[in-house]
Amino acid sequence: MNSGRTIFSQLMDFIPKNDFDKCVRRYKGNYRIRKFSCYNQFLCLAFAQLTYRESLRDIETCLRAMQSKLYHSGMRGKVARNTLAIANEKRDWRIYADFANVLINRARKLYAGEDFAVEIMQTAYAFDSTTIDLCLSLFPWARFRKRKGAVKLHTLIDLRGNIPCFIYVSEGRMHDVNALDKLPLEPGAFYIMDRAYIDFSRLHKFTQSQAYFVVRAKKNLDYHRKESRVIDKTTGLRCDQTIKLKGQKSLREYPLPLRRVAYYDTESKKRYVFLSNNFVLDALIIAKLYKCRWQIELFFKWIKQHLRIKAFYGTSPNAVKTQIWIAICVYVIVAIIKKEMNIDRSLNEILQILSISLFEKVPIYQVFTEYCEEDLNQIDSNQLLLFDF
C-alpha cells in the first residue's frame, strides 16, 4: 500500500464502502445531513475503539490534535463532541448492525477452512450470553435488578475462527432461553449450549428445522431409558443412551427420542451429562463438541478486555447499541486483516500495534512486521531492572 497514507486510512480500505452506503440508505441515515455523515460517525467510533478512548471529549481532543491528518484518513471537517453525541443518539443503530453482518459474512468465508478441536464436516456454533453492567440511574431503560442496570449480548459464534455470526442486544432481565426465539437455525449445523437453554418446546424447533443441538442436561431430568450403546470408559465416557422424556409437559413439548451422553472430565474431576438430537456422531465427539463451548466464554472475555463495550459514550438505547455494533465491526475487520494479509500475530497484538500507530504513514503490513518483542539479551546493560529473571 502507499506509504504516504496513514495506517488508519489503509485500515479503512478493508471496509466495503458500497455495502456501507447501502446500509445507510436502507435506514435513511444521511437524510438532511450536511457534514457529519454516518461514515464519519463510524470512523470516529472505530478510532475510539482502536485507541481505547474513554469519552466523547477524549475522542474530540485526540482527533483535533491530529486535525491535519484527518482529511487523508477519510474524516471530513472538525469533530465536535456535541455533534458526535447527537449522531449516536439519533442515527439508527441498525445501520451498523447490518454492516457488521456484511463484514461477518466476509470473515466467515475467509475462516471457513479453519480447523478446531473436533473434526466434523458440519458447521458448529456456540451460543451463550454475557451481561454488561450499567448504572441504573443513567440507563433507566436497562433494568436488571432492583438497583442495578444491565444489557445482555446474546451471541452465536462460529467455532471455525470464533467469528460472531448473530448478536442480539436485550435488557439485562431477559432470560437467556428467550433468545432462542431470535436465533436463526441452519439445517445440518450443530448448536452447542449450556443448561440455561433447556426448553424442550424450543429444542424441538431445532429438530423440526433439521438442525442439531448439544446441550448440558439438568440434574432433575425425568426420563426413561430405551437403549444403551457400548462405550469405552477409558475415554471418559460413562454412558451413551437413547431416552424418552417422562414428564407430561416435557413429553408434549418434545415427543421424540433424545440422546443422553455422560462424560467424566479428568481435568476438572466433574461428571457432565449432555442431551442431543444427533444419533450418528460418536459419543466422544458429542462430549468434545460441548468442550468447545468454552470458546465463546473466551470471546466474551476478549471483547470486554480489548474493546470499549463496558463504558459507553451515550446513555440512550440507540447510543449503546451503536457502540456495541461498531465494536463488533472493529473486531471483525481486525480478523479480516489478519487472514487476508496472513499476519502471524494474535488479534490482541494487532490491536495493540494499531492503537499506537494509526496516524503513521507507512505501509500497513510493515507496521506488523517491524514491531517485534525485544529480546531480553538485547536490553542495555545500564538499564535498571525491576526484577531479576
Is 95:38 a contact under the CB 8 Å cutoff?
A: yes
CA 348 from chain center: how many Å? 14
pLDDT of residue 69: 79
Is the pLDDT at 376 greater than 80? The verdict is no
Q: How confident is the model at residue 345 (pLDDT cuts 50, 70, 90)?
A: confident
Taking CA atoms, 345 is separated from 210, 298, 306, in Å, by 38, 17, 15
Mean pLDDT of 216-244: 93
Is the pLDDT at 388 greater than 90? The verdict is no
185-227 pLDDT per residue, tens: 999 999 999 999 999 999 999 999 999 999 999 998 999 999 9
Other CB atoms within 10 A of residue 292 CB:
18
* CA separation for the pair 332, 146 (Å, rounded): 36
49-58 pLDDT per residue, tens: 999 999 999 9
Mean pLDDT of 316-338: 94
Indicate the SS3 state at residue 26. Answer: helix
Is the pLDDT at 176 greater than 90? The verdict is yes
Most confident range, picked from 58-62, 209-213, 369-373: 209-213
The residues near 238 (Cβ < 8 Å, ≥ 6 apart) are: 231, 262, 263, 264, 271
In order of their start, the domains of the chain are 7-95+315-370 (no CATH), 209-277 (2.20.25)
Q: How confident is the model at residue 386 (pLDDT cuts 50, 70, 90)?
A: very low
pLDDT of residue 112: 87
Mean pLDDT of 306-321: 92
* CA separation for the pair 53, 313 (Å, rounded): 10
The residues near 93 (Cβ < 8 Å, ≥ 6 apart) are: 318, 321, 322, 325
Handedness of CA 326, 328, 334, 335 (dihedral sign): negative
Q: How confident is the model at residue 42 (pLDDT cuts 50, 70, 90)?
A: very high
Written as nine digits, the cell of 106 is 466476509
Q: How confident is the model at residue 375 (pLDDT cuts 50, 70, 90)?
A: very low
Residue 144's nearest CA partner among 177, 167, 174, 178 is 174
pLDDT of residue 371: 54
What's the pTM value of the predicted model, to 2 decimals?
0.88
pLDDT of residue 311: 86
Percent of the chain with pLDDT over 90: 66
Written as nine digits, the cell of 48 is 475510539
Ranking 113-117, 167-171, 201-205 by mean pLDDT, the lowest is: 113-117
Q: What's at 120, amino acid-wise?
A: I
pLDDT of residue 362: 86
pLDDT of residue 337: 93
Indicate the SS3 state at residue 167. Answer: strand
pLDDT of residue 3: 54
Ranking 50-59, 60-69, 266-275, 286-295 by mean pLDDT, the lowest is: 60-69
Mean pLDDT of 364-385: 56
More confident residue, 37 or 383: 37
Indicate the SS3 state at residue 319. Answer: helix
More confident residue, 372 or 207: 207
Where are the extended beta strands (E) located within the chain? 124-134, 143-145, 148-158, 163-171, 190-193, 212-216, 223-228, 237-245, 258-265, 270-276
